[in-house]
Amino acid sequence: MSKEYIPYHVPFPTHHLGLEFVKEVLLSGKTAGNQIHSLACKKILLSNFHGEQKFLTTSCTSALEFSALLASVEPGDHVILPSYTFPSTANAFLLRGATLSFVDSMPNSPNMDLDAVEELISSKTKVLCVMHYAGISLDWEKIKALKATYNLTIIEDAAQCIDAYYVNNDIDYPLGSLGDFGALSFHETKNISCGEGGLLLVNNQEYIEKAEVMYEKGTNRASFLRQESAFYEWKSIGSSYTLSEINAAILHGQLLQKSEINKMRHAIWNSYNLAFENFSVPYVPVYAKHNAHIFYLQLASTSESVEFIEYMQKKGIQTLSHYRPLHSSSFFNDKHDGRILKNAQHFSDTLVRLPIHQEVNVNRVIETALDFFN
């Protein structure tokens, strides 16, 4: 039996397509962005995301920063967001001078506790930023109710959510398409990747013109290219978010293999789910159709999870814990309002992710893990 090392993540190999497409881009000299492969990516993404305007970006981080600009977040504005997430979720708003309130996870899920949001809302609250951990949807009915009552702008950090859905009345709504804005990631570590890349979905029609200008470094270049104006000029604040055509070519190759990637990931996720049915594993509510981005076990304590990770590593299998809560980080701790967010801390202490990729020997991972517990 081969005992090769199993890393936590290996991107799906799409070199045959990617090399061809990248070569094409280099030979064409059209390397900047928004060329053939960017358009092809957007066309494929159309089947996931319908009428919304799509902007390919250099990362999910830049898509989140773009959304904060679009939402006109300004110094003094208040933003509510989960603690159990990646720093980019928070940086996007801190960069605009907002004050932040972090929300705890639920007891049975790393996802944010939407029932804890209302008591944090003040007249200064402008944005509720939500994050669907592991591509497992939050309860959209609750988000809708908060938006309607308090007139909040909803931004979805849907970094992990390509091909993940919120289900209501048998209709699948892609994550990232429900808020005013949704940000996705195509980072190397995500299900579909192009090294560094992202996507901003602008779902609220009100913002589309503004988004076009900000995306073009604050100019009306997009309308100029459509020959709607004779020249283009500086119209507003903006920045450079465009994904280079070289990355788009790689992304195009990946997107063409999307269904194979999904099938492979779900098969592994389902095997884990079955093998570990007596363990604490991801909770998937009826309204969530996930994308097998992450499978985790929750261990009894910090020390047990550290021992588990070390044991698996010794057996040649890389497993990983995940986020350190943002509210109690060394950077934010003294700015936090002091509320104790015990579930976020608990997931930080006890959650361990198992590898999901095409090179995983699933039975070996399962047997090794079960050996640890026995």
Ligand X SMILES: *Cc1c(COP(=O)(O)O)cnc(C)c1O
Binding site for ligand X (CB under 6 A): 59-61, 85-86, 88-89, 131, 157, 159-160, 185, 187, 198
Min dist CB 243 to ligand X, Å, is: 11
| The residue count for the chain | 374
Cβ-based nearer residue to ligand X, 37 or 353: 353
Cβ-based nearer residue to ligand X, 165 or 186: 186
Q: Which residues of 273-296 are buried (b: 16+ CB within 10 A; e: fewer)?
A: bebbeeeebbeeeebbbbbbbbbb
Min dist CB 300 to ligand X, Å, is: 26
Identity (one letter) of the amino acid at 226? R
Cβ-based nearer residue to ligand X, 157 or 349: 157
Min dist CB 348 to ligand X, Å, is: 14
Identity (one letter) of the amino acid at 197? G
Cβ-based nearer residue to ligand X, 143 or 369: 143
Cβ-based nearer residue to ligand X, 93 or 221: 93
Min dist CB 320 to ligand X, Å, is: 13
Exposure of 210 by Cβ count < 10 A (0-12 exposed, 13-18 middle, 19+ buried)?
A: middle
Min dist CB 324 to ligand X, Å, is: 13
Identity (one letter) of the amino acid at 181? F
Kind and range of the H or E run holding 262 = helix 258-275
Cβ-based nearer residue to ligand X, 187 or 289: 187
Contacts of 75 (CB under 8 A, 6+ apart): 96, 97, 98
Min dist CB 85 to ligand X, Å, is: 5
Check: CB of residue 343 under 8 Å from CB of residue 351: no
288 φ, ψ to 5°?
A: -115, 130
Check: CB of residue 321 under 8 Å from CB of residue 352: yes
Cβ-based nearer residue to ligand X, 251 or 275: 251
Q: Which of helix, strand or coil describes residue 194?
A: coil
Min dist CB 83 to ligand X, Å, is: 12
For 155, the token pair is 């931004």
Cβ-based nearer residue to ligand X, 14 or 89: 89
Min dist CB 197 to ligand X, Å, is: 7
Check: CB of residue 241 under 8 Å from CB of residue 58: yes
Write the Ramachandran bin of 112: left for phi over 0, alpha for psi from -120 to 50, otherwise beta.
Answer: beta
